[in-house]
């Protein structure tokens, strides 16, 4: 990032979108680690976005700044102000949605967690985080386990930490301490929607990664996953 990378989310289309404070919208390639600028975000009128998220309940993307809540069109890069969150002197740092469309966020000034009304932007207090949050932070929701994760820089220990957040009280619980690491651009590889009803294939022969397999005299075989109806089989060189 040419400026400070602030936040990242896995979108409903599987693309990892990240923002920096310029503000710009980027795509993160999980295979290569490359970060590519998609476009400069407009509509914030100089307001600095700190967080980006995706709402699986309505398919929309949202931004949060220290004071304000926006919707974001990831195709046109246009942000639209929804409203001020109503917490005086706040410095909201990141946000996330659960599968039902409930928005969670937290503030570095009050060191507290809130829910955000996505229609109005108004914040409602959940409760204290239980640590002194400072600097860049990250937030992501695990749809598989219904767990809020916070990439938390703890000013008390001056270390980066991974924490979980209670959705009812806002209290966080330490998972692991990363030491002197600030992980602000943080997103889980989570799945939106119901899980795939078809089980994965198993027991491939030749096994995955096999080399030196002859062009003739071999039979490809595997065990289909539960509920498999159709199979596509592809041949070709690596890549």
Closest by CA position to 26, among listed 36, 15, 41: 36
Please give the pLDDT value at position 135: 93
pLDDT tens per residue, range 189-205: 998 887 677 888 899 99
5 neighbors 28 (Cβ within 8 angstroms): no
For residues 224 and 204, give the distance between their C-alpha atoms in angstroms, rounded to a whole number. Answer: 10
- pTM, 2 dp: 0.81
Beta strands (DSSP E) in the chain are 5-10, 16-20, 24-28, 35-40, 49-55, 60-65, 68-73, 78-84, 92-97, 103-107, 112-116, 123-128, 138-142, 147-154, 159-165, 172-179, 202-205, 221-223
Please give the pLDDT value at position 194: 74
For residues 18 and 49, give the distance between their C-alpha atoms in angstroms, rounded to a whole number. Answer: 11
Sheet strands side by side (includes 92-97): 92-97, 103-107, 112-116, 123-128
Please give the pLDDT value at position 2: 81
DSSP count for the chain of H helices, then E strands: 0, 18
pLDDT tens per residue, range 35-61: 999 999 999 998 999 999 999 999 999
Residue with tokens 């309505």: 58
Please give the pLDDT value at position 238: 61
Regions of the chain with pLDDT less than 50: none
45 neighbors 23 (Cβ within 8 angstroms): no
Q: Can you spell out the DSSP letters for 81-99?
A: EEEE---TT--EEEEEE-T
Please give the pLDDT value at position 237: 67
Q: Is the omega angle on the peptide bond into residue 206 within 30 degrees of 0, that is, cis?
A: yes
């Amino acid at each position: 990032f040419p400026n400070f990378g602030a936040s990242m989310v896995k979108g409903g289309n599987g693309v990892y979108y990240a923002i920096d404070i310029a503000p710009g919208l980027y795509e993160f390639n999980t295979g290569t680690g490359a970060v590519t600028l998609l476009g400069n975000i407009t509509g914030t009128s100089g307001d600095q976005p700190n967080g980006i998220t995706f709402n699986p309940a309505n398919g929309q993307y949202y931004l949060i700044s220290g004071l304000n809540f926006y919707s974001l069109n990831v195709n046109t890069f246009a942000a639209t102000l929804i409203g001020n969150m109503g917490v005086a002197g706040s410095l909201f740092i990141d946000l996330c949605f659960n599968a039902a469309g409930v928005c969670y966020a937290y503030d570095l000034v009050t060191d507290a967690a809130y829910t955000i009304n996505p229609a109005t932007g108004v914040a409602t207090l959940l409760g204290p985080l239980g640590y002194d949050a400072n600097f860049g932070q990250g937030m992501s929701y695990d749809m598989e386990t219904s767990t809020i994760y916070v990439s938390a820089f703890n000013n008390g220990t001056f270390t980066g930490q991974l924490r979980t957040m209670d959705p009812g009280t806002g209290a966080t619980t330490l998972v692991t301490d990363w030491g002197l690491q600030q992980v602000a651009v943080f997103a889980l590889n989570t799945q939106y929607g119901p899980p795939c009803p078809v089980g994965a294939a198993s027991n491939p022969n030749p096994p995955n990664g096999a080399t030196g397999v002859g062009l003739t005299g071999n039979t490809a075989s595997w065990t289909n996953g539960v509920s498999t109806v159709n199979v596509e089989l592809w041949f070709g060189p690596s890549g």
